[in-house]
Amino acid sequence: MTKDDDKNDLHPSTRAAQGLGWIDETTRAVMPPLHFATTFIRDPDNEYRSGRVYGRADNPTYDQPEALLTSLEGGAEALTFASGMAAATAVFLALRPGDHIVASRVMYWALRKWLTTAGAEWGLRIDLVDTDRLDDLRAAVRPGVTRLVWLETPANPTWVVTDIEAAAGIAHASGALLAVDSTVATPVLTRPIALGADIVMHAATKYLNGHSDVVAGALVTAAKDEFWQRVRAVRTGVGGILGPMEAWLLMRGMRTLYVRVERSCRSAQAVAEHFAGHPAVEAVLYPGLPSHPGHAVAARQMQGGFGGMLSIRVKGGEDAAIRTAARVKVWKRATSLGGVESLIEHRASIEGAGTPASPNLLRLSVGIEDSADLIADLEAALR
Ligand SMILES: Cc1ncc(COP(=O)(O)O)c(C=O)c1O
């Protein structure tokens, strides 16, 4: 496969649409081949000059999504994983038992659960704080002790926004790394490495793939340092790799990332503005609304939109929220986010005890349908 290196000067949307300009040398195909091979030929003199040995560590089909994501995030290297959770936990498993972590209190619930149960049993010492409150973050990070600050921004399910640049300053001043779950922002809207993050994580299941048909995860590093080699060793050792078919589908999805995210952002803004102040709605939580506490930071660190995710608090409590979700016809009642189809979800039902989602909160993932159809459907359901 060849790659047009000069294409790196092009706008990220061009790089994504053209898959970094990869052309298959053998066939001159403009789309990449799919390699199912689990093993690779050893040279007669016992070397492995191809650089590939066995499928748990290497597969040529990973190359394109990893290279494209590295380029879009402005990082040094990327690794794909079997899921977002496999990617996130690889970062924590690359630490050592006894290491201290400070993480966002508001974050993807299954990761918070893993951290505070399996992660803690494994020996990690974890403090959860509201990372959007920089004084709280500063107070929780212990100089010379804290190894990692983990944050998600905008964060599920209330879309709390953390100032990445300020958080990086706090983490680095104490000798800690900063990792950012940027699933919701995507590289279209925010590039955490340019703001000082050391590692960027994506549930690639969501916007990167974009079609609700692949479970995948990815990490991007700012530097190919010793910690990154430990992360890579976790992937190879634990084996949470992405299958070749999923890697190929992920690459196909990433080609349309920019148009999908731009459209979702525009529609999410329209939905948020329409339902703010609606008589059946108590509150709309969306960083694109000036009423959102994270709006000013989001306006600074998100370019071109505020994301496709928002939540509404329905008047009338939990029953009213669940009834609203039951009545929609265009929105699909399902968990997950970042697909081309819009989803609606009563979030407390899935997160259970300890959720920051109030009982009347509905989480909305805005897809790429006509925004007037989405607004009319939710209007009818709320009535
Ligand atoms: C923000 C965020 N991070 C991580 C994950 C975990 O990703 P996966 O479901 O691919 O394991 C999710 C999944 O919903 C998510 O929304």
The token pair at 237 is: 């050792």
3-state secondary structure of 54: strand
Active site residues: 56, 108, 181, 206
**Distance from Cα 108 to the centre of ligand 1, integer Å:** 7
**Does the beta carbon of 80 lie inside 6 Å of ligand 1?**
no
Residue 45 alpha carbon to ligand 1 centre in Å: 45
CA of 226 to the centre of ligand 1 (A): 26
Other beta carbons within 10 angstroms of residue 379's beta carbon come to 13
Phi, psi for residue 362 in degrees, rounded to 5: -110, 130
Structure token pair of residue 149 = 């600050």
The reply to whether ligand 1 has any atom less than 6 angstroms from the CB of 185 is no
What are the strands, taking DSSP E only, across the chain? 77-81, 100-104, 125-129, 146-152, 177-181, 199-203, 217-221, 281-285, 309-314, 332-333, 343-346, 361-365
**What phi and psi values does residue 168 have, to the nearest 5 degrees?**
-65, -40
- Which pLDDT score is estimated for 49? 95
Q: Give residue for tokens 């960083």.
A: 287
For residues 228 and 327, the answer to whether their CB atoms sit within 8 Å is: no
CB 290 within 8 A of CB 306: no
Looking up tokens 């053209």, which residue turns up? 18
Neighbours of 353 (CB within 10 A): 5
CA atoms within 13 A on the CB side of 220: 29
For 360-379, write each residue's pLDDT tens digit.
Answer: 999 999 999 999 999 999 99
Is 205 near ligand 1, meaning CB less than 6 Å away? yes
Buried b (16+ CB within 10 A) or exposed e, 243-256: bbebbbbbbbbbbb
CA–CA distance, 156 with 270 (Å, rounded to integer): 20
Number of CB atoms found within 10 A of residue 26's CB: 8
Residue 121's pLDDT is 98
Surface-to-core class of residue 99, CB atoms within 10 Å of its CB (0-12 exposed, 13-18 middle, 19+ buried)? middle
Residue of 91, 182, 205 to mutate, ligand 1, most atoms within 8 A of C-beta: 205
DSSP SS3 for 197: coil
Å from CA of 111 to ligand 1 middle? 8
Cβ of 153 closer than 6 Å to ligand 1, yes or no, is no
Cα 350 to Cα 355: distance, rounded to the nearest angstrom: 9
Q: Which of 283, 303, 304 is nearest to 293 (CA)?
A: 283
| Tens-digit pLDDT string for the chain (383 aa) | 656 554 568 999 999 999 999 999 999 999 999 999 999 999 999 999 999 999 998 899 999 999 999 999 999 999 999 999 999 999 999 999 999 999 999 999 999 999 999 999 999 999 999 999 999 999 999 999 999 999 999 999 999 999 999 999 999 999 999 999 999 999 999 999 999 999 999 999 999 999 999 999 999 999 999 999 999 999 999 999 999 999 999 999 999 999 999 999 999 999 999 999 999 999 999 999 999 999 999 999 999 999 999 999 999 999 999 999 999 999 999 999 999 999 999 999 999 888 899 999 999 999 999 999 999 999 999 99
Alpha carbon separation from 289 to 152, 293, 296, 308 (Å, rounded):
19, 9, 10, 13
- Residue 300 CB partners (closer than 8 Å, separation 6+): 163
What residues form DSSP beta bridges with 23? 2
DSSP state of 23: B
The answer to whether the beta carbons of residues 79 and 204 sit under 8 Å apart is no
Q: pTM to 2 decimals?
A: 0.97
